[in-house]
Amino acid sequence: MRKIFRADVCSFSHEIRDRQILRGLGLTALVTLAIAAHLEQIGKLTPLSLQFSRAPTTEQIAAPIATVPAVTQAATPAAARKTSAPRLPANWSIENGNVKGSFVQSAKHAGLTLVEIHSLNQIFSNKIDFKHLPAGTQFKVITERVPAKTSHGVTIDNVVAAEFITRAQKTLAIRYSYNNAPASYYQADGTSLAPGFLRYPTHFTRIGSGFMLHRLDPVTGQYHSHPAIDFDAPMGSPITATSDGKINTMTFEQGYGNVVKISHPGNVMTLYAHMRNFAKGLHTGSLVKKGQVIGYVGMTGYATGPHVHYELHFGSKPVNPLTTKLPAAASIPSAQRAGFNQEVKQVLGLIG
């Protein structure tokens, strides 16, 4: 054993001398190198562990830098490779911030425009109360901004997607359009963020009468149920259908005056009364879209002033149109899910 060790040490001493590093090394360094060489010889120390402790050879020092093997991408583990971030399409930008104080001021500070802030209020109207967002709420918004090409042109200022993160929840909205329909906003699972119903059937000046099941009727002087909201508005103001549906009644009734009743999917019915007149081209059986004009504000029937008497019924039960949770719009159809999922993937890659 001594002979083997001595032989190894001698051979290693020759190697040190050959490499011209013997001069200047202390006794401790020489002993350490000798022991390391012996352990390598008997297989208890791998050559890899010595490559940092040994000094380079004369040949290695003289070798040009170009001969040093480069680490190729193929040799690098896939998980360690750095993927390039998705590139933003033209005219898109990402604005992000935290809520400190009011959301409007925080959004302005983050770089959002008033148009985009208004859009966010509409997009998340059924999900987020922007007047009471907790401090620290994080938000990221992808915007699309295209300036007008001429002084009379139209400036595009849209919200492409938005994410709000609080301690309680994360809410994501993604813009998507299919079948040439106007763009709407959906959650990542394809459910719509848009309410299936408009909250109001007309632009009103004030609410004349609220939802009451026991009210003194100003015309008859008797107590009646008033399962509706009376929206006071100027004579002739347009009245719109609050959701897609089919007109099942368009007629004159003594109390309601000119009245329209619309049946909607899910056993929902809406009623619009006291109209001055009906919109042209409509009749019982006509299909109408959300926001389509169906008539004009009047005071026919039992009415003391121009307004629209609006009722919302879930099944046979009347509900308060101002406070009830409105049904959501339709989700992404299965035939459109592949395209929508691609949009979700792009947005998530950008928002991170």
* Whether the model pTM is above 0.85: no
Position 88 scores a pLDDT of 85
Q: Are 259 and 273 in contact (CB under 8 A)?
A: yes
Residue 337 forms beta bridges with which residues? none
Coil, strand or helix at 195: strand
Q: What share of the chain is helix, strand, coil (3-state, %, to 5)?
A: 25, 30, 45
Question: What is the CATH architecture of 206-319?
Answer: Distorted Sandwich (2.70)
| CA–CA gap between residue 200 and residue 128 (Å, rounded) | 19
Measured from the Cβ of residue 39, the count of other Cβ atoms closer than 10 Å reads 15
Q: CATH number for the 92-186 domain, one of 3.30.70.890, 3.10.450.350, 3.40.50.12780, 3.40.50.720? A: 3.10.450.350
Domain boundaries, the chain: 2-63, 92-186, 206-319
**Which pLDDT value is given to residue 59?**
52
The pLDDT value recorded for residue 21 is: 47
- CA-CA distance, 228 to 324, in Å (whole number)? 12
Predicted confidence at residue 138, as pLDDT, reads 96
Q: What is the pLDDT of residue 49?
A: 43
CA distance 352 to 140: 10
> What tokens were used for 39?
């352990």
E runs forming strands in 40-79: none
Rounded Cα–Cα distance for residues 169 and 129 (Å): 13
* Per-position pLDDT tens, the chain of length 352: 544 444 454 554 555 555 544 445 556 655 666 676 666 666 655 544 444 444 455 454 444 544 444 444 444 454 444 445 568 888 999 999 999 999 999 999 999 999 999 999 989 988 898 989 999 999 999 999 998 888 888 788 999 999 999 988 899 999 999 988 888 999 999 999 988 899 999 999 999 988 887 656 665 666 677 899 999 999 999 999 999 999 999 999 989 999 999 999 889 999 999 999 999 999 999 999 999 999 999 999 999 899 999 999 999 899 999 999 888 888 999 999 999 999 999 999 998 7
Res 327: pLDDT: 86
Work out whether the CA dihedral 20, 24, 30, 32 comes out positive or negative.
Answer: negative
Angular region, 225: left φ>0, alpha ψ -120 to 50, beta rest: beta
What CA–CA distance (Å, rounded) separates 126 from 141? 18
pLDDT of residue 226: 85
Q: Is 206 helix (H, G, I), strand (E, B) or coil?
A: strand
